[in-house]
Structure 1
Amino acid sequence: MLKRQEQHEFAIPVALVVACWTDEAFLTSMMQAQGSRDVAVTVERPEPGQIHVAITRQVPVKAPALIRSVIGSWLDLTQHDIWQQHADGSWTANRNAKPKGLAAEGGAQITLTPLGDDATRCEAQISVSSRAPMVADMVEKLMLEDSTKLLIEEFAWIDTHG
């Protein structure tokens, strides 16, 4: 398993950051801008302070030709984010992403902390693991790079469109 940490500061309140990451239209537009196709987003609010987001999409495979020859140029990806609000005004999300047909999965633990009334600190720990025989290390490295790149693109999209 490989892990990486990322931090970002948004110049908008925590409620707006959460609103972006839990809005069907916003997420669909963002993921299409990242190159995904066939994006479907479902958002449920089972109770106050809790939001469940389910996303399915096809993502382009950005990997060496050897890997693309085995898994194809597109992967079907299912992602689940569970957002929870805390008494101090912070939010956490547990993200799980699983590509269909690949013995690998990715995840992230995201924490949003209010910085006054008009800014938000985001801390994310990204993790990936693979059980692919003989190529697990290469798959994990590629997935970690891609997952990190996509998360940083999400930060920028929220900065620009949030």
Structure 2
Amino acid sequence: VWMEEPGYYGAKAAFTVAGARVLPIPVDQERGWYLEPPDPLPRLIYVTPACQHPLGITMRMEERLRLLDIAETANSWVIEDDFDGEYRFQGRPVPAIQSMDRSGRVIYVGTFAKLLFPALRLGFMVLPQELAGRIVNALSTTGQFAPLLLQAALADFITEGHM
């Protein structure tokens, strides 16, 4: 797994516990993401491009396109963790990497906890169709599910146009 350094500790811990070898993508305030792929090429790339955790910078458009090129060349999956992309404090919004993905390599992950309220603890994924069955199977083996009542209430909230 190729992931940002510094980066989100929770993701790094999860990858490490799963037995992945985590390699750093150096990130800093001045130059952004240093996107020179490691050898061997990564099977998975994890980024927080809308608001890099913990630096808070936004990945530039040319970096997003470079990341997509790397993923396509390496046949890698990209997890785009957009934990708080709804908040913009300066500049215009930058499109999600997933919205620019033409080869179906990006898994877009978000949360309603930051958007609505933290106690909700519901998230979502927008992923390539070919991964849907594998993700459902993987999630079913963990035994951890969001309460159906909360899922139904949120679905109604969205359907009724409140969000």
If the length of structure 1 is used for normalisation, what is the TM-score?
Answer: 0.32
If the length of structure 2 is used for normalisation, what is the TM-score?
Answer: 0.32
Higher relative contact order (CA 8 A, sep 6+): 1
